Amino acid sequence: MIKAFTCDNGHVQPLTDTGSVDALRSAIWIDLQDATADEIERVQIATALKVPTEPEVSEIETSSRLAIRDGTLYLSMPLIRLADDGPRTTSAGFVVSPERLISVRFAPSRIFDAYAEHLPRGSASHEVGAHIFVGLLEAIIDRQADALEQVRADLDTISHGIFAMGVNQEGGRKAEDATLRRTLGQLGHIGDLISHVRDTQVGAARIVPYVEAMAAQWLPKDLMPRLVTLRLDIASVSDFDTHLNDKLQFLLDATLGFINIAQNNVMKVMAIASVVGIPPVLIAGIYGMNFKNIPEYDWAYGYVWGWGLIILTTLIPLGVFRWRKWI
């Protein structure tokens, strides 16, 4: 699928005819999503630029993600795609020349779609594709910041639930086990999201200084302050990401600590039950032996005597445990 935009007197307009090579030559931004071979060939003919493939934009080496050929920047970075089973990573490529921007992606992206819808209504001047490229980077970083703010709110909610559980235990052991299991799942999901955000931040942190250095000759001067601000935003978001990762680790340790406490309580109950049960079983075993010379067999209150010993040897360990505050 091809989306293209032209610039008329500094304002961006969507290009309705994307099937014509001549029409694509006037575009300052061409957005390719899961483009077919015919669409890619049409764009390459119209722009005289090479459109990177999915394996090329998925490379993780810096030399593959950041390159310049004949004065054109070939850049790529990972983005987050929210699937039904959680966040996934998808790569996006950018071909930035003095005249236009070509973006290449292989999955739907809310950021690109929202930015494309906002462009025709925006009042900012967009003379070349570099303006759109910087605007896209700003939108990506802003979206990552919003995601981390939501993560902070989720972690605050989880933190309150974990530590309130130690004070107000309602619903019994089964409810507590279900809460801990659910909390571990939530923390795992959040940790996965933070990891994907970090990948995107690292990619953006590499791209911005590279663009500043390699495109200094033809990059519009009004974009330089925006790139400086963008670099500062990336640094602040990365610091916030580190803070959230530390908090996530703390909550994970706290959750595992509560699980260990619950397991220790179970083992303590089993240990007490085994210790308390040994003397009664021993007494019952002694009087259960079929020997004629056991004197208690001839007592009138021998049965009561046996039960008394069993009850007494049960209560004594329980009293000791209670006295030592083990139970």
Amino acid identity of residue 43, one-letter, is: V
The architecture of the domain spanning 264-323 is Up-down Bundle (1.20)
Rounded to whole angstroms, the Cα distance separating 7 from 18 reads: 15
Average per-residue pLDDT for the chain: 83
Determine the average pLDDT of the residues in 18-36: 84
pLDDT digits (tens, 9 = 90+) for 287-323: 888 777 778 777 888 888 888 888 888 888 888 878 8
pLDDT at 167 > cutoff 70: no
For residue 171, name the pLDDT band (cuts at 50, 70, 90).
low
Angle at 35 between CA 4 and CA 219, to 5 degrees: 45
pTM: 0.76
In CATH terms, is domain 2-262 a member of 3.30.460.20? yes
Q: Do domains 2-262 and 264-323 have the same CATH topology?
A: no
pLDDT at 170 > cutoff 80: no
pLDDT for residue 290? 75
Extents of the domains making up the chain: 2-262, 264-323
| Nearest to 259, CA basis, from 146, 157, 176 | 176
3-state secondary structure the chain: CEEEEEEECCEEEEECCCCCHHHHCCCCEEEEECCCHHHHHHHHHHHCCCCCCHHHHCCCCHHHHEEEECCEEEEEEEEEEEECCEEEEEEEEEEECCCCEEEEECCCCHHHHHHHHHHHHCCCCCCCHHHHHHHHHHHHHHHHHHHHHHHHHHHHHHHHHHHHHCCCCCCHHHHHHHHHHHHHHHHHHHHHHHHHHHHHHHHHHHHHHHHHHHCCCCCCHHHHHHHHHHHHHHHHHHHHHHHHHHHHHHHHHHHHHHHHHHHHHHHHHHHHHHHHHHHHHHHHHHHCCCCCCCHHHHCCCHHHHHHHHHHHHHHHHHHHHHHCCCC
For residue 79, name the pLDDT band (cuts at 50, 70, 90).
confident
The b-or-e profile of 82-108 (16+ CB within 10 A means b, else e) is eeeeebeebbbbbbbbeebbbbbbbee
Q: What is the percent of the chain with per-residue pLDDT over 90, rounded to a whole number?
A: 13
Determine the average pLDDT of the residues in 165-191: 75
pLDDT at 121 > cutoff 80: no
For residue 281, name the pLDDT band (cuts at 50, 70, 90).
confident
Tokens 């663009």 locate to 211
For residue 23, name the pLDDT band (cuts at 50, 70, 90).
confident
| Nearest to 250, CA basis, from 152, 159, 157, 151 | 159
